[in-house]
Chains A and B, each alone.
Chain A
Amino acid sequence: AAGVIQSPRHLIKEKRETATLKCYPIPRHDTVYWYQQGPGQDPQFLISFYEKMQSDKGSIPDRFSAQQFSDYHSELNMSSLELGDSALYFCASSLAGLPKNIQYFGAGTRLSVL
């Protein structure tokens, strides 16, 4: 079965650079979530989209923005990168309207800011 695809898997950037992370949800899933997991930490919710509209916002810095496109894939744009942005970034997708709200996670993008 198709899973959530994230690209790239690894990304190395310098401070103050920009980065774009991509997420392709499971086919027919209409909701995408982004989470950030720092070293030794639990995943923290950043932002979510339902039917291409932002549905919820968590602890996402103003330097970050995201959107969901007409084909339901999503991109997380990160600017003015800081050392503290080094983390594993997960995308998850789900099908809204089902009570279980089961979120399936991608393998993540590991971002290293040097």
Chain B
Amino acid sequence: GEDVEQSLFLSVREGDSSVINCTYTDSSSTYLYWYKQEPGAGLQLLTYIFSNMDMKQDQRLTVLLNKKDKHLSLRIADTQTGDSAIYFCAESGYNQGGKLIFGQGTELSVKP
């Protein structure tokens, strides 16, 4: 079945850039999303990218998509302590009827 994989942990210093990576298997994926979850909280949509794009920038966030390798990354510039959270990559595609398939989440820890 469809699968989405992420590394589990990332630690960076405040002010550095963070890069969170994600790989997926479903070639019919149409949109790919990044959600942020703070402790005990809900899922906040950060950004998304359509599968025919290879880059999208939104303020401090840059999403890169390599469709050939089925690899997605989220770069956070000038990472702040408030960015500490779990980041989920998710995909939806024609074969999935709209439901989201999530990765395991990457816990980002930002040290002052």
Contacts and interface: CB of A to CB of B under 8 A. Distances in A.
Interface residues of B, number: 24
A48 B102 contact: no
A33 interface: yes
A64 interface: no
Contact of B97 (A55, A102, A110): A55
B55 interface: no
A8 to B, nearest CB: 14
B107 to A, nearest CB: 10
A108 B41 CA distance: 8
B102 A107 contact: no
A94 interface: yes
B31 A100 contact: yes
B103 A56 contact: no
B98 A101 contact: yes
B42 A101 contact: no
Interface residues of A, number: 27
Contacts, number: 63
Contact of A43 (B30, B41, B102): B102
B97 A42 contact: no
> In this complex, which of A41, A42, A55, A96 has the most chain B Cβ atoms within 10 angstroms of its Cβ?
A42
B31 A48 contact: no
A45 B99 contact: yes
Given A42-B88, A42-B105, A107 B42 contact: yes
Contacts of A90: 42-43
Nearest to A4: B42
B62 interface: no
Contact of B45 (A31, A48, A102): A102
A84 B46 CA distance: 30
Interface string B58-96: 000000000000000000000000000000100010001
